[in-house]
Amino acid sequence: MFRSLVAALILLAAPAYAEAQKLVPQSRAEVGLSFAPVVKKAAPAVVNVYAQRIERQARNPIFDDPIFQRFFGQHPGNQTAQSLGSGVIVDASGLVVTNHHVIEGMTSVKVALADRRELPAEIVLRDPRSDLAILRIKSDDKNFPVLEMGDSDAIEVGDLALAIGDPFGVGQTVTQGIVSALARTQIGISDYGFFIQTDAAINPGNSGGALVDMNARLIGINSAIFSQSGGSVGIGFAIPVNMVKNVVAAAKNGGKEVRRPWLGASLQNLTRELAESLGLDRPAGAVVTEVFPRGPAEEGGLKQGDVIVAVDGQEAADAGGVGYRLGAKALEGTASLSVRRDGKSLVVPLALIAAPERPARETIRIKGDSPFSGVTVVNISPATVEEFSIANAKEGVAVVDVEDNSPAAVVGFKKGDIIVSVNGGKIAATRDLDRAAAQQPYVWRLTINRGGQVITSVIGG
């Protein structure tokens, strides 16, 4: 009798609890309900993305000889590099969000809609730091179906989720799962490594597609999987929609890049040993290792040794979490950093301003006959350090691009290399390198800083 009474009370209380919390299935019948209404609302706004570029091949005149063609056939000529992914329409005018890696290096893009229309699109914004990009569909139609953006900070582990995209190019596909984990960092996919993990099947071609909740709202952009076989093993990662919102807003405002708040400090993950030495009960947070002069951190009163544990009340378990929380915010106004200092808790205000470009970047692509031919370099500043993820540098000249098959690529230059000196001459600005590269010495003696390691090479002339 007692057990029956308890069961009855639980059943009576269940509707009120479900209304206040999350709605969960209460019977076998409810478990058997279909996801079709959610899919019908969300799927029309998910598109397939086809990107390509023409790779021009060096052509030998002998290939045009009629005798050569008679015996060996036509020379294939230029080759086409292609990429396949998915995207999400987020504005009725035809703005589409996809992954940057889907369109990276590509020059021509088209999208296929759920209604089978295929339309050309232009790339309006690339944001490699978040692995996001914005396309605009070229069409007179300004009433495209749109997927409403939700709030990724409101989702919880265990929530149901649907992944919609074009895996392996088979056509639009829907898979179902749950939110397996939140705030996954150190995945190594982008600078803002802070992902929603899901067991909804995600496969190659799903990149850029939608992760939606049960209200058919976008909660993430599917971006990567953990797999040893190349197929889904139930561990997929999506970029939270709250990061997506900033990128979309920048595109709508005509921006070609996303400007984000600058902390003005270096951070380190809090290890167990470090937490114990600082008198903390658990290794959750990010330790401030350096505060830059005249930056927002210094202005707000942040100090070396402080441990940041939250941003505007949202927990930040490590340096990646702090970076994401700030990176998802718009410029202007202030944020509140929850900090532990000398065993005490305090709040530090942080002005949400962009990193300054001092000195000006003065971008130069080196040409001519030198080991540097094919590199693009910029002057190092807080802004370029942030934009290009330049490590271990406060001043000097950094490589931000290396042209394929160029002399610089053959020598082995990489993005992020800091050029310290050429033939004994210090390289303090991009113009210094441009002048040095124009010389014709018998040998080249180069010194670079790669990730904190100083490398000196001698190249014969």
Residue 27 has what pLDDT? Answer: 67
At residue 251, the pLDDT reads 93
My answer on whether 380 and 335 are in the same domain is no
* Active-site residue identified among 83, 100, 131, 373: 131
Q: Where are the beta strands (DSSP E) in 253-373?
A: 265-269, 286-291, 307-311, 314-315, 334-341, 344-351, 364-365
Q: Is 101 labeled as catalytic in the residue annotation?
A: yes
> CB–CB of 141/94 below 8 Å?
yes
Rounded average pLDDT over 294-320: 91
For the chain, percent of residues with pLDDT exceeding 90: 49
Residue 101's nearest CA partner among 27, 189, 199 is 189
Q: If you average pLDDT over residues 254-272, what whole number do you get?
A: 87
Q: What is the mean pLDDT of residues 295-300?
A: 93
Per the annotation, the verdict on 75 as an active-site residue is no
Per-residue model confidence (pLDDT) at position 65: 54
Assess if residue 447 is contained within a domain. yes
Surface-to-core class of residue 312, CB atoms within 10 Å of its CB (0-12 exposed, 13-18 middle, 19+ buried): middle
Q: Helix or strand or coil: residue 307?
A: strand
Here the CATH number for the domain that contains residue 192 is: 2.40.10.10
Residues 344 and 370 in one domain: no
Strand-pair partners of 375:
402
The verdict on 454 and 375 lying in the same domain is yes
CA distance 324 to 390: 18
Q: Are residues 301 and 382 in the same domain?
A: no
Q: In this structure, are 326 and 376 located in the same domain?
A: no
**Residue 101 is labelled as binding a ligand:** yes
Q: What is the pTM of this model?
A: 0.79
* Tokens at 284, concatenated: 């959750």
What mean pLDDT, rounded, does the chain reach? Answer: 84
231 & 317 share domain: no
Give me the catalytic one of 101, 166, 232, 381. 101
Q: Are 200 and 283 found together in one domain?
A: no
pLDDT tens, residue by residue, 209-252: 999 999 999 999 998 877 656 666 778 899 999 999 999 999 99
Number of folded domains that form the chain: 3
Q: State the pLDDT at residue 227.
A: 62
Examine the domain organization and report whether 179 and 237 are in the same domain: yes
Instruction: Identify each DSSP E strand in 296-396 by its residue range.
Output: 307-311, 314-315, 334-341, 344-351, 364-365, 375-379
Where is average pLDDT lowest: 38-52, 57-71, 99-113, 305-319?
Answer: 57-71
| Within a domain: 356 | no
- Of the residues 183, 207, 242, which one is the last residue of a structural domain? 242
What does the pLDDT average to over 150-156? 91
pLDDT at 363 over 90: yes
pLDDT at 241: 94
Choosing from 86, 180, 190, 207, which is the catalytic residue? 207
Rounded to whole angstroms, how far apart are CA atoms 240 and 223? 10
Whether residue 394 is predicted with pLDDT greater than 90 in this model: the reply is no
pLDDT of residue 387: 82
CA distances from 26 to 47, 213, 297, 353 (A): 35, 19, 50, 49
Alpha carbon dihedral 356, 360, 365, 371, in 10-degree steps, equals -90
Residue 53 lies in a domain: no
Across residues 275-292, what is the average pLDDT? 86
Average pLDDT over residues 388-397: 83
Report the alpha-carbon distance of residue 327 to residue 324 in Å, rounded.
5
Given a cut of 80, is residue 140 above it in pLDDT? Answer: yes
Q: pLDDT at position 206, please?
A: 87
* Lowest-pLDDT range of 52-66, 89-103, 359-373: 52-66
Q: Has residue 97 got a pLDDT over 50?
A: yes
Range(s) of the domain holding residue 346: 265-351
- Whether 131 has a binding-site annotation, put simply, is yes
Q: Does residue 368 lie in a domain region?
A: yes
Interval 357-366 mean pLDDT: 92
Flag whether 409 is in a domain.
Answer: yes
| 206 known ligand binder | yes
Q: Which of 285, 318, 351 is the last residue of a domain?
A: 351
Q: What phi, psi does 85 have (nearest 5°)?
A: -160, -160
Q: Residue 156 pLDDT more than 80?
A: yes
Confidence at residue 44, expressed as pLDDT on a 0 to 100 scale: 95
In a domain? residue 80? no
| Top-confidence residue, 190 or 310 | 310
In the predicted model, is pLDDT for residue 295 greater than 80?
yes
Shared-domain flag, residues 339 and 400 = no
What integer is the mean pLDDT of 158-173? Answer: 89
The sign of the torsion formed by the CA atoms of 123, 376, 383, 457 equals positive
* Residue that finishes a domain, picked among 327, 351, 375: 351
Has residue 381 got a pLDDT over 70?
Answer: yes
Pick from 17-21, 132-136, 222-226, 242-246: least confident: 17-21
Q: Establish if 100 belongs to a structural domain.
A: no
What's the mean pLDDT in 139-159? 92
Helix-helix angle 241-252:319-327, to 10 degrees: 40
CATH of the domain at 283: 2.30.42.10
Is 220 in the same domain as 271? no
Does any domain span residue 423?
yes
pLDDT of residue 248: 94
Look up 457 and say whether it is catalytic: no
So what's the pLDDT on residue 13? 40
Residues 6+ apart with CB under 8 A from 36: none
Tell me the mean pLDDT in the region 317-331. 88
DSSP, residue by residue, 103-158: HTT--EEEEE-TTS-EEEEEEEEEETTTTEEEEEE-SS------PPB--TTS--TT
* Annotated binding-site residue? 392: no
Handedness of CA 398, 405, 84, 226 (dihedral sign): negative
pLDDT higher than 50, residue 17? no
pLDDT of residue 22: 62
Read off the pLDDT band of 11 (50, 70, 90). Answer: very low
Residues 383, 439 share a domain: yes
Please tell me whether residues 403 and 439 are part of one structural domain. Answer: yes
